[in-house]
């Protein structure tokens, strides 16, 4: 009977990187029929002694991603003493990075998990911005890190998405004279609410272009008197809330975001960068 082929995946983190590499290699040999045993979150010498013990005298390989030098050196030494094949999956590439880019590795385990956490927070924030865009669900007002308010075409949605990519959960609420603002808007902390305003002429220009893109020529939406009415109403709501106000007339989304975050930082809204 053929002896079982085993690869012990040893890592000072969860070990997904090492497992993926082992599977990629194994797939080149008879469809990847090899057993993978995990030895994760290695932090002490006794953890290494355990994998040496279970792999000794077996038809196995140790594939490891250990970034702490003392643990790596100990595993290399013990594997050589016991005649076990141990493969370091990271050192060659880290040495290449160091030589080519003139940088030193941090040698800290689990850093990739931190990067993954940031990625998933960003995805969550983008999903939040979509769900609570344009006042679709007032529950977003209480759950948001930042609440944007303003009349139509003041960059609320693109600003929400831009901030979401910086891992802020943003809800935005349109202000329309005929529609009573949600009660939640006056209950939420003014420290995380920001009003967006724009000059009447600029808004008139933007709305006319919007109508043109839609194939419409005449609409109250772009009427200057209507715009003045909306802006006056919106500013009354913003003053009632007591939130800071940003004029977005000649600002790019990035510029508005930087200004907004600087203002909110003073009010205690934490930076996600």
Residues making up the annotated binding site for ADP are 150-157
Write out the two tokens for 47: 């953890």
Binding site: which residues? 150-157
Helix then strand count (H, E) for the chain reads 11, 8
Q: Can you tell me whether residue 37 is helix, strand or coil?
A: strand
Q: Which position has the token pair 């901030």?
A: 163
Write out the two tokens for 69: 């030098």
d(CA 242, CA 105): 48
d(CA 143, CA 235): 24
Three-state secondary structure string covering 177-216:
CCCCCCCHHHHCCHHHEEEEECCHHHHHHHHHHHHHHCCC
Q: Can you tell me whether residue 163 is helix, strand or coil?
A: helix
Which letter does DSSP use for residue 3 in this model?
Answer: P
């Amino acid at each position: 009977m053929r002896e079982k082929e085993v690869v012990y995946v040893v890592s000072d983190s969860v070990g997904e990187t090492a497992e993926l590499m082992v599977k990629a290699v194994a797939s080149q040999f008879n469809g990847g029929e090899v057993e993978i045993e995990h030895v994760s979150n290695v932090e002490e010498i006794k953890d290494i002694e355990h994998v040496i013990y279970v792999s000794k005298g077996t038809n196995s390989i140790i594939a490891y991603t250990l970034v702490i030098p003392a643990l790596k050196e100990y595993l290399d030494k013990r594997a050589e003493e016991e005649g076990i094949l141990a493969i370091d999956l990271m050192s060659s590439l880290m040495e290449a990075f160091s030589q080519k880019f003139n940088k030193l590795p941090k040698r800290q385990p689990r850093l990739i998990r931190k990067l993954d956490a940031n990625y998933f927070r960003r995805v969550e924030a983008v999903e939040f911005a979509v769900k609570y865009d344009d006042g679709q669900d007032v529950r977003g007002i209480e759950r948001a890190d930042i609440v944007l308010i303003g009349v139509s075409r003041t960059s609320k949605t693109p600003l929400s998405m831009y901030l979401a990519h910086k891992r802020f959960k943003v809800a935005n609420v349109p202000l329309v004279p005929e529609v009573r603002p949600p009660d939640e808007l006056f209950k939420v902390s003014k420290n995380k609410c920001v009003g967006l305003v724009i000059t009447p002429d600029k808004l008139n220009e933007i709305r006319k272009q919007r109508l043109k893109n839609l194939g419409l020529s005449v609409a109250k939406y772009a009427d200057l008197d209507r715009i003045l009415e909306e802006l006056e109403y919106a500013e009354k709501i913003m003053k009632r809330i007591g939130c800071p106000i940003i004029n977005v007339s000649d600002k790019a989304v990035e510029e508005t975001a930087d200004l907004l975050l600087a203002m909110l930082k003073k009010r205690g809204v934490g930076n996600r960068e």
